[in-house]
């Protein structure tokens, strides 16, 4: 049986409808892990609102850079106005994804927000770095993944700030006693 020959472009694109990891699964996980680690370490060092804004811009540009690099280098797509529109929307939401947990960490000294930021950044970088099989993850991420991640953050914060103190009070007694 003759072996099929694919061009480089067809090989990278893979099977229609199935996303591909352009540098392999372990490489994609490494990119996501590095992005998540950098974001979490930077978030832990933020203490003023000005640095929160600077961090939000860097975070958005960095993750959108991961998305653009994966598509430009490995998937070879041409960008058009729709990509620019959805990149702008995603950029704003990425800034929110950075700003909310960092602000909660600074204001209420939250313990769960760095963990959430690490997980959310890792998942975002992992999905942004996969190519093929989708119209564009920039259409799916703001409409499906971001709202779910935001709901998880809010549930974790409610659990940490409301539920945990009430449960602790039942077992330990009122705070300050």
- The band of 153, judged by pLDDT with boundaries at 50, 70 and 90, is very high
Return all residues near 51 (Cβ < 8 A) that are at least 6 apart. Answer: 45
pTM: 0.77
How high does pLDDT run on average in the chain? 79
| CA dihedral for 48, 108, 39, 84, sign (positive or negative) | negative
Condensed to tens digits (0 to 9), the pLDDT of residues 15-31 reads 555 667 777 778 778 88
Q: Facing residues of 20 across strands?
A: 131
- The band of 90, judged by pLDDT with boundaries at 50, 70 and 90, is very high
Q: How far apart are CA 57 and CA 162, in angstroms?
A: 31
Place of tokens 């971001």: 146
Residue 115: the pLDDT is: 87
Q: How far apart are CA 127 and CA 106, in angstroms?
A: 28
């Amino acid at each position: 049986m003759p072996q099929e020959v694919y061009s480089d472009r067809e090989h990278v694109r893979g099977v229609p409808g199935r996303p591909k990891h352009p540098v392999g699964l372990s490489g994609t996980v490494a990119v996501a892990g590095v992005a998540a680690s950098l974001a979490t370490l930077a978030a832990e060092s933020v203490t003023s609102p000005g640095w929160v804004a600077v961090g939000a811009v860097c975070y958005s540009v960095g993750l959108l850079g991961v998305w653009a690099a994966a598509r430009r280098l490995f998937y070879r797509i041409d960008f058009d106005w729709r990509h620019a529109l959805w990149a702008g929307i995603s950029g704003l939401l990425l800034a929110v994804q950075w700003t909310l947990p960092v602000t909660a960490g600074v204001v209420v000294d939250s313990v769960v927000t760095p963990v959430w930021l690490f997980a959310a950044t890792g998942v975002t970088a992992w999905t942004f770095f996969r190519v093929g099989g989708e119209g564009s993850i920039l259409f799916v991420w703001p409409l499906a993944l971001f709202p779910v991640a935001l709901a998880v953050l809010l549930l974790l914060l409610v659990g940490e700030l409301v539920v945990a103190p009430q449960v602790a009070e039942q077992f330990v007694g009122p705070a300050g006693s």
